[in-house]
């Protein structure tokens, strides 16, 4: 039981959150170091006063933060860009560059719960984040829908952000969450489920089997946070999604094993597309294959952002 408590805190309350996701200066520095062209663009956007902060409040009174960049030429086309585990909105500026500079889109970049400038002390691994993402999608319509008759939205996520995007994909056509202006999704190196991802890391980092620690930790997560590792399943979500999804994954990804994207792709009904970035590890497909990444996304959007 002690090990299960440790595992839960290790995964959902990591020690480096303040030095990584909450550290805004170091996040800007990461973009400058790894993406110099995109960093120069970001500097110009900031000088022009085109980078804006926005906050919304959830049902529990907690503040959620996002950055947004209106398109240089007004358009209904909008990208909602979701970051990964212990990242933040700034660390997704390379994707913002692609959508804003290369494709001419509006861009909205939320800080997910417990990340960046958004309130919260724990990571939700995309499951409860899907509900926050739905609120941000609605906010994008408020920001960019006028003078158009509503926005056209692509939801683009990387790693945990991809898992969030896929779980949003399982919601937008059903029940209370119908959002007709969401047109398609891009899921870059997302996992099949939180259970599968934690099982993989438990083996890779600690050389331990799933039983009994993962079972106990999932049960504790249900008691403490109201969700468990198995229900947080992008795999089940994509089965419910009839909208187009572009799956992207690095062929050399060992953190979120490349085998997961094949499971996701097979589970998704058409329309769907898959691009494997040759020789690329986790979450670096854009950095290492910038031109082809942009082409794959552009071609996909040209087909489905109608």
**pLDDT digit string (tens) for 59-99?**
999 999 999 999 999 999 999 999 999 999 999 999 999 99
Pick the CATH number of 2-304 from 1.10.10.60, 3.40.50.1820, 3.30.590.10, 3.40.50.920: 3.40.50.1820
Which tens digit of pLDDT belongs to each residue from 184-203? 999 999 999 999 999 999 99
**Residues paired with 55 in a beta bridge:** 65
* Domain locations along the chain: 2-304
* Cα 82–Cα 126–Cα 201 angle in degrees, nearest 5: 110
Cα separation of the two ends of the chain: 52
Mean pLDDT, range 112-132, rounded to an integer: 97
Per DSSP bridges, beta strands 106-110 and 63-69 are antiparallel
The tokens for 9 are 């805190």
- For residues 254 and 282, the answer to whether their CB atoms sit within 8 Å is yes
pLDDT at position 69:
98
Q: What are phi and psi of 238, to 5 degrees?
A: -70, -25
Does pLDDT of 175 surpass 80?
no
Q: What would the two tokens of residue 80 be?
A: 């909602």
Portion of the chain with pLDDT greater than 90, in percent: 93
* Residue tagged 């039983």 (tokens): 211
- 283 phi and psi angles, rounded to 5 deg: 65, 20
- Whole-number pLDDT of residue 117: 98
User: What are the pLDDT digits (tens) for 1-33?
Assistant: 999 999 999 999 999 999 999 999 999 999 999
Confidence category of residue 107, pLDDT binned at 50, 70, 90 = very high
pLDDT at 176 over 80: no
Q: Where are the beta strands (DSSP E) in the chain?
A: 52-57, 63-69, 77-82, 106-110, 152-158, 182-188, 245-250, 272-277
Which pLDDT belongs to residue 85?
98
Helix axes 194-206, 2-12, angle to 10 degrees: 110
What is the CA angle 23-205-194, rounded to 5?
70
- Contact call for residues 45 and 121 (beta carbons, < 8 A): no
Q: Residue 220 pLDDT more than 90?
A: yes
Q: What is the mean pLDDT of residues 263-271?
A: 97
């Amino acid at each position: 039981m002690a090990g299960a408590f440790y595992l839960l805190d290790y995964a959902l309350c990591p020690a480096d959150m303040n030095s990584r996701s909450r550290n805004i200066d170091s996040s800007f520095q990461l973009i400058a170091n790894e993406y110099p062209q995109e960093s120069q663009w970001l500097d110009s956007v900031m000088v022009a006063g085109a980078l804006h902060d926005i906050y919304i409040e959830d049902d529990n009174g907690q503040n959620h933060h996002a950055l947004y960049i209106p398109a240089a030429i007004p358009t209904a086309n909008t990208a909602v860009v979701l970051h990964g585990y212990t990242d933040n909105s700034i660390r997704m500026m390379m994707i913002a560059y692609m959508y804003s500079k290369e494709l001419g889109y509006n861009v909205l970049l939320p800080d997910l719960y417990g990340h960046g400038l958004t309130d919260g002390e724990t990571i939700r691994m995309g499951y409860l984040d899907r509900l926050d993402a739905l609120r941000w999608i609605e906010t994008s319509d408020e920001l960019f829908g006028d003078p158009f008759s509503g926005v056209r939205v692509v939801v683009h996520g990387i790693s945990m952000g991809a898992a969030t995007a896929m779980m949003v994909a399982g919601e937008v056509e059903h029940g209370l969450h119908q959002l007709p202006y969401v047109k398609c999704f891009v899921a870059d190196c997302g996992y099949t489920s939180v259970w599968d991802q934690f099982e993989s890391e438990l083996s890779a980092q600690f050389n331990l089997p799933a039983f009994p620690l993962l079972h106990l930790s999932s049960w504790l997560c249900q008691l403490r946070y109201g969700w468990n590792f198995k229900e947080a399943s992008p795999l089940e979500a994509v089965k419910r999604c009839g909208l187009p999804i572009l799956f992207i994954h690095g062929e050399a990804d060992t953190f979120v094993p490349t085998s997961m994207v094949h499971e996701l792709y097979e589970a998704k009904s058409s329309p769907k597309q898959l691009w494997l970035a040759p020789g690329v590890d986790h979450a670096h497909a854009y950095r290492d294959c910038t031109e082809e990444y942009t082409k794959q996304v552009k071609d996909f959007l040209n087909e489905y952002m109608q």
